[in-house]
Amino acid sequence: MTTNRPKIRVASVINRKYLAFRKLGEGGCGVIYEVAMAETTVFDEDPTLPMEHKVIQKLNEKNSIHCVELIEKGQSENYQFLVMTLLGPSLDAIRSTLGPTNKFSTYSTLVIAIQALDSLKEIHEIGFVHRDVKPANFAIGTLGTPKQKLLHVLDFGIARQYLVKDGTDGGLRIRKARRIVPFRGTLRYCSVAAQERKEQGRHDDLWSLFYMIVEFVKGTLPWTGISEEDKVIVMKEDVTELYNGIEAECAMFAQHLSVLRYQSKPDYELLRDLLMNVFIRRNLNPHMKVDWEKGGRYESHFEKKTATLPCVTEKDMTEVDLTKILNVPGAEKNITMEQILAAGKMTEGDEGLNTAQDDTIIEEEGASRPKSHPNATTPSETSTTSKKTKRRYIARTPSVHKVELIEKNWKKKQEEAQREKILKHAIAARRTKVDMVVPEDNTIVKRKTATTTTTTSSVEEATGKKASNERY
């Protein structure tokens, strides 16, 4: 199955309101453009965008500081679109500029990890698991602004709702785990359970975060570059090399996750305290500079690598209080291995959940009640029609063949995205001295910096407004 990409080019007008300035990126779940306000005027069958909108909307309702602001959604002749605030580079893009080691400093790693943990907790609290936690799906605020220290979580296209309404009392319950689950995620960062085609829970997102932390500290993971799933699983299960060279608290972080199951609630406060213990013991403070900002560890190298990026014409200079965001305690907390293991034990309420293999939908009779034969008689019909009986429908599990087909298509999309990424890196290497526009046909057209200024000015004159940089 192939997905038709939106027919959008640089200078295309979206929804009679947004002028596409620059293509920022493309992946398996869609295409991202930088847009500006303009005044002027199919459907892509992509099931990921409605999920993206749903999660972002719920996070916005909770006033999450780690989520982009949703500005508008809509639909054109052959595509759907979301407009959201423009962010800075992803953690993946930043790490690739930090020299040959690709390492973050301990301070930057902890600032990232603590905020990432908080953002995943917010997603879990609204009833979703992300299922594709990786550096490319976290981005900082716009470079050169106070928000460049603030981390944002992105790309909810393959998120899954794990909390659903219980038909018995209207409350929420944990969704039943499926027996056969197509693979979702990225091989390098996904949990072992995800590779084994098990239903992903909250702890699986945190396993991916743990692998990110190790990669940031050591520069690489033991299985980086290996595409054979069986080999990756073996290396993920052999924790000797994984734990070597990292703080003891990080190993305890993983040990807590190892005792959790699909329906278990991670102890987020315990995991945060583990990271904070390292922060305090290393005498770090929120006023220090992160690696990529002016005065940071890799300031000169990072500025050189990003010097050719187009400038943002309108910047949000709202102050970001990292002291309040990190909320560093006054002293280390004594955390024992007994606490690590006890936190993962099942409660009495958890034991009764998810015993079935498949999703179970409970609905009231009447909405889809089967029709009876006209000559049939129903004893005591008058006494039973007033009662709201419950009917249980067991969702069919997809066949193994269908799951394999889904995974094959998914892998194909990932390979296409990887080829696109390699191509973009090659093009970027040729843009070190000249600013260029790269249309979707991958032909390179040189343009002068003045052209960008003229285009921006023309939009401002047509609208009478400043061009506000937003993300599509």
Distance in angstroms (rounded) separating the CA atoms of residues 200 and 197:
9
Report which residue type is found at 61.
E
Beta bridge partners of 18: 14, 37
| Sequence ranges of the chain with CATH classification 1.10.510.10 | 91-345
pLDDT tens string for the chain (472 positions)?
445 656 565 545 565 555 565 666 666 556 776 665 443 333 344 567 889 999 999 999 999 999 999 888 887 766 677 888 888 889 998 998 876 788 999 999 999 999 999 999 999 999 999 999 999 999 999 888 889 999 999 999 999 999 998 777 778 899 999 988 899 999 999 999 999 999 999 999 999 999 999 999 999 999 999 999 999 999 999 888 899 999 999 999 999 999 999 999 999 999 999 999 999 999 999 999 999 888 877 766 565 555 555 555 556 778 889 999 999 999 999 999 988 988 666 544 444 444 444 443 333 333 333 333 434 443 343 344 444 444 333 334 455 666 677 777 777 877 887 788 788 777 766 655 444 444 545 444 444 433 333 333 333 333 444 334 443 3
Q: Look over the chain and give the mean of its residue pLDDT values, rounded to a whole number.
A: 75
Q: Which two tokens stand for residue 23?
A: 């293509």
pLDDT at residue 98 in the model = 78
pLDDT in tens, 113-172: 999 999 999 999 999 999 999 999 999 998 888 899 999 999 999 999 999 987 777 788
Residue range(s) of every CATH 3.30.200.20 domain in the chain: 13-85+436-471
Query: Which pLDDT value is given to residue 220?
Result: 93
pLDDT at 197: 93
- Residues 221 and 281: beta-carbon distance below 8 Å: no
pLDDT for position 375? 42
Q: Give me the amino acid identity at 46.
A: D
The pair phi, psi for residue 221, each rounded to 5°, is -110, 155
**Active-site residue among 44, 46, 132, 205?**
132
Contact (Cβ atoms closer than 8 angstroms) between residue 112 and residue 185: no
Q: Which amino acid is at 191?
A: S
The pLDDT of residue 294: 82
Residue 440: closest CA among 78, 10, 28, 89: 10
Q: How many CA atoms lie within 13 A of 308 on its CB side?
A: 14
238 as an active site residue: the answer is: no
Q: For tokens 């596409």, what's the residue?
A: 20
Angle of helix 248-258 versus helix 268-281 axis, rounded to 10: 170
The correct CATH number of 91-345 out of 1.10.510.10, 3.40.50.970, 3.40.50.2300, 3.30.450.20 is 1.10.510.10
Phi, psi of 454 (to 5 degrees): -65, -45
With tokens 């070190």, the residue in question is: 432
Class of domain 13-85+436-471: alpha beta
Quick one: DSSP state of residue 244? T
Query: Distance from CA of residue 314 to its chain's centroid?
Result: 26
Residue 409: the pLDDT is 77
The secondary structure of 154-218 as a DSSP string is ---TT-EE-EEE-TTTS-EEEPPPPSS----S-TTTS-HHHHTTPPP-HHHHHHHHHHHHHHHHH
Q: Return the exposure string of 367-388: e unless at least 16 CB atoms fall within 10 Å of the residue's CB, then b.
A: eeeeeeeeeeeeeeeeeeeeee
